[in-house]
Amino acid sequence: MHEISDFRSDTVTLPTPEMREAMASAELGDDVLGTEPTVNKLEAMTADLLGKEAALFVPSGTMSNQIAMALHAQRGQEIICEYSAHTYNNESGALALIAGAQVRPLHGEFGAMDPEAVEHLVRPANIHNPRTALITVENTHNAAGGTIIPHENVLALAEVAKRHGLKYHLDGARLWNAHVATGLSLKEMCAPFDTVSVCLSKGLCSPVGSVLVGTRADIERGRYLRKQLGGGMRQSGLLAACGIVSITKMIGRLKDDHANAHKLAAGLKKLKPLKLDIGTLHTNIVYFSAPGREAEFDGWLDRLREKQVLALYLGTRWRMVTHNDVDGEDVDRALAAWKEILG
All structural domains of the chain: 5-12+253-342 (3.90.1150.10), 17-249 (3.40.640.10)
Find the mean pLDDT for residues 191-215. Answer: 98
The tens digit of pLDDT for each residue in 95-127 reads 999 999 999 999 999 999 999 999 999 999 899
Q: How many CB atoms lie within 10 A of CB 109?
A: 11
Find the mean pLDDT for residues 225-234. Answer: 94
Helix (H) / strand (E) containing 49:
helix 37-50
Q: Measuring CA to CA, which residue among 99, 98, 102, 132 is closest to residue 118? A: 132
Q: Quick one: pLDDT band at residue 72, thresholds 50, 70, 90?
A: very high
The tens digit of pLDDT for each residue in 152-169 reads 999 999 999 999 999 999
Cα 123 to Cα 141: distance, rounded to the nearest angstrom = 25
| Contact criterion met (CB below 8 Å) for 112 and 154 | no
C-alpha torsion sign, points 171, 53, 48, 232: negative
pTM for this model (two decimals): 0.96
pLDDT value for 247: 98
Q: Quick one: pLDDT band at residue 298, thresholds 50, 70, 90?
A: very high
Residue 322 above 90 pLDDT?
A: yes
Beta bridge partners of 275: 289
Residue 269 above 90 pLDDT?
A: yes
pLDDT value for 343: 84
Q: Phi/psi at 317 (nearest 5 deg)?
A: -120, 145
Q: Quick one: pLDDT band at residue 1, thresholds 50, 70, 90?
A: confident
- Regarding beta strands 78-82 and 132-138, do their DSSP bridges make them parallel or antiparallel, or are they unpaired? parallel
DSSP secondary structure letter of residue 146: S
DSSP secondary structure letter of residue 214: E
